[in-house]
Structure 1
């Protein structure tokens, strides 16, 4: 079978003059959903996007597995993370063969054993649930900020500075990509001040674990930025669905609720790599240097993999999910470093919640750096 190039792949409708760039900027979810529909109709699991450079999006388990395990072919250098200063650095952008060693140094601090030692501190930082109506999205934002401050810095980081640092990540693109040198310098100075204190006095928070490592202060900044919005949006959606479906608001059901939220609304809705060499994918040549994208959002809603894929149904988690189809934390060697931290914090919050009632809200997913609800999501104690 002779190989074809990217022009042989299906694609969503284009706009004259800019291909897919306008829809990628303004309506990316309908764009990739149309692309996946065109790909399925053509019997394929990948489709092409015209973004000014060669780009291909895949959504099948086979594609996800290849992209997330073949680290020498699908590399992070040159991916979307590099254009966002918050995420441009640290282990996120390290590639094989250096990635494994760097990740191994960081894993103990984010493992279940160490996080359990921090749990009393993070639980103590949990803000009270407001009386009356409140916006679950705004409350989740404040709550996660306080919990991450406790986990990383024992609550010692200036709360106003931490909020100012992380707030732009919640804004639409290109706001998160804009340089903020003075703000970053202030944050770096505070991280170093507290970090040097840990080096002298010791400690058990995440800063104390990361500070002695090569590039440890950068890892603090990058992992903190990666943790905040992802955890905030997952928590906000979980609160909203527990308020809408109170029969699931019991400790034994919370794990399934969170899994279902992350299937429908994965904060990391799109992942990117660059091809380090040509790849033959089912008879199509994907060229060296092309963007190679995978989408937990598309895979989590694929009608060929999930029954009633757009329906919120935590009961589906009585069975195992299809392999390489559920990827809210990525997969393979690059599995999200903060996965256990995010899950611990969210489950602790859900376990402390009183019964809730949904009042009004807009849970339409709105993609930016992460996928979150358009909001607000107004709930109250039931």
Structure 2
């Protein structure tokens, strides 16, 4: 028997549903028998969400290639280490050191100082605040707060819009961004520094990697921070120093920013029920995997206490997995921890007032917002 498939339009396939309500489409597919289902997205496509599928897709880099995946259609993410296949291991080895947990600790103080320059009212929209706070912290980590904040905001703003806005070409904006990055990189190379740009500028293509890293890191961290604040406001027992890390992990489980990952097949893939041709899309869903009731108790509930035990192997993938684990995993955790600690230092109580936390999938998975909370 062929693999199952969600309800499909006879002519348009799954594209209309993918454009309008992709999470509903995925959730319908997850209710079908097995843990693999097909989609018609203009190309043959298969979605899997079992630990076995995740491990296979994220470790067999010869069969499952990054070039030609969904990231290619978004200019912000099209290129650099994200889409590199040949020579990825060597390139990643060169870029890893400044993003290591130990190296990033040297930046914690300046990230903390930059965050405290962001005004915090007693009542505020957690989503809007997270956007501004993460922008400040990234500027501090990458550029020691020397980059033009207006240009940085203008560069990242289109990523917050629904498709097709993030996929539209912006040659003039990208040229301005690259020129500003190049000028600052030359200053770092001649005068020295210890921010992330200083390290990245030493490598061929380092300026481009910086631009892509900013695009990959801003909304992902912003949305995770906003959701973490919202959940902590509804679960005050976790709004304490020891509760922040498990709350972050639980937030990333429920709402992984990279809700869907994609690869292209370099060769035909025999799935038993059918054979996918070379060039087909192979998709994995951290969103579905982290809500699979076969591996998670009460999967839709916010329960940070579940992190007293290790997660099921290959079922928790907010930063991907294998050799292509997100380069910015330690940076993201540092920013999230610092932002939540700042809130905790600013008030002992956090309460949700009103908002719309419904997930809105785009380049990343974010809350619809606003998410208004009170800190006291």
What is residue 148 of structure 1 aligned with on the other side? 138
1:103-143 residue CA offsets vs partner (Å, 9 max, x unmatched): 00000010012101111111100044522321100000000
Is 1:272 matched with 2:262? Answer: yes
Is 1:375 matched with 2:369? Answer: yes
1:17 and 1:178 map into 2 onto residues whose CA distance is 26
What is residue 342 of structure 1 aligned with on the other side? 332
> Which range moves more in the overlay, 302-311 or 349-358?
349-358
Give the total of aligned pairs.
371
Q: Counterparts of 1:42-121 in structure 2 under 5 Å?
A: 44-96=34-86, 98-121=87-110
Q: What is the CA distance between 1:253 and its match in structure 2? A: 1.2
- In structure 2, the gaps of 5 or more residues are none
What is residue 160 of structure 1 aligned with on the other side? 150
2:276 and 2:35 map into 1 onto residues whose CA distance is 14
> Which range moves more in the overlay, 118-127 or 63-72?
118-127
Counterpart pick for 2:320 among 327, 330, 339: 330
> Which range moves more in the overlay, 130-139 or 108-117?
130-139
1:75 and 1:138 map into 2 onto residues whose CA distance is 36
What is residue 27 of structure 2 aligned with on the other side? 33
Q: What is the CA distance between 1:283 and its match in structure 2? A: 4.2
What is residue 13 of structure 1 aligned with on the other side? 7
Secondary structure of 1:227 counterpart: helix
1:28 and 1:72 map into 2 onto residues whose CA distance is 28
Q: TM-score, normalised by structure 2?
A: 0.97
Q: What is the CA distance between 1:46 and its match in structure 2? A: 0.8
- Cα distance change, pair 283–14 in 1 and its aligned pair in 2 (3 A): closer
1:256-291 residue CA offsets vs partner (Å, 9 max, x unmatched): 101110000000000000000111224431221100
2:109 and 2:298 map into 1 onto residues whose CA distance is 39
Is 1:295 matched with 2:289? Answer: no
What is residue 112 of structure 2 aligned with on the other side? 123
1:13-33 residue CA offsets vs partner (Å, 9 max, x unmatched): 012421100000000000011
Is 1:230 matched with 2:230? Answer: no
Counterpart pick for 1:221 among 197, 203, 211: 211
What is residue 355 of structure 2 aligned with on the other side? 361
Q: TM-score, normalised by structure 1?
A: 0.96
Contact 2:134 2:221 in 1 (8 A): yes
2:365 and 2:229 map into 1 onto residues whose CA distance is 16
1:117-171 residue CA offsets vs partner (Å, 9 max, x unmatched): 1111111000445223211000000000000000001101100000000011010
Q: What is the CA distance between 1:245 and its match in structure 2? A: 0.9
Secondary structure of 1:293 counterpart: strand
1:277 and 1:337 map into 2 onto residues whose CA distance is 27
2:319 and 2:232 map into 1 onto residues whose CA distance is 22
Counterpart pick for 2:298 among 298, 302, 308: 308
1:39-66 residue CA offsets vs partner (Å, 9 max, x unmatched): xx2xx22100011110110000000000
1:317 and 1:226 map into 2 onto residues whose CA distance is 26
Secondary structure of 1:345 counterpart: helix
1:170-196 residue CA offsets vs partner (Å, 9 max, x unmatched): 100110000111110100000000000
1:167 and 1:379 map into 2 onto residues whose CA distance is 24
2:74 and 2:238 map into 1 onto residues whose CA distance is 37
1:268 and 1:216 map into 2 onto residues whose CA distance is 23
Q: Counterparts of 1:200-211 in structure 2 under 5 Å?
A: 200-211=190-201
Q: Counterparts of 1:233-248 in structure 2 under 5 Å?
A: 233-248=223-238
Contact 2:3 2:273 in 1 (8 A): no
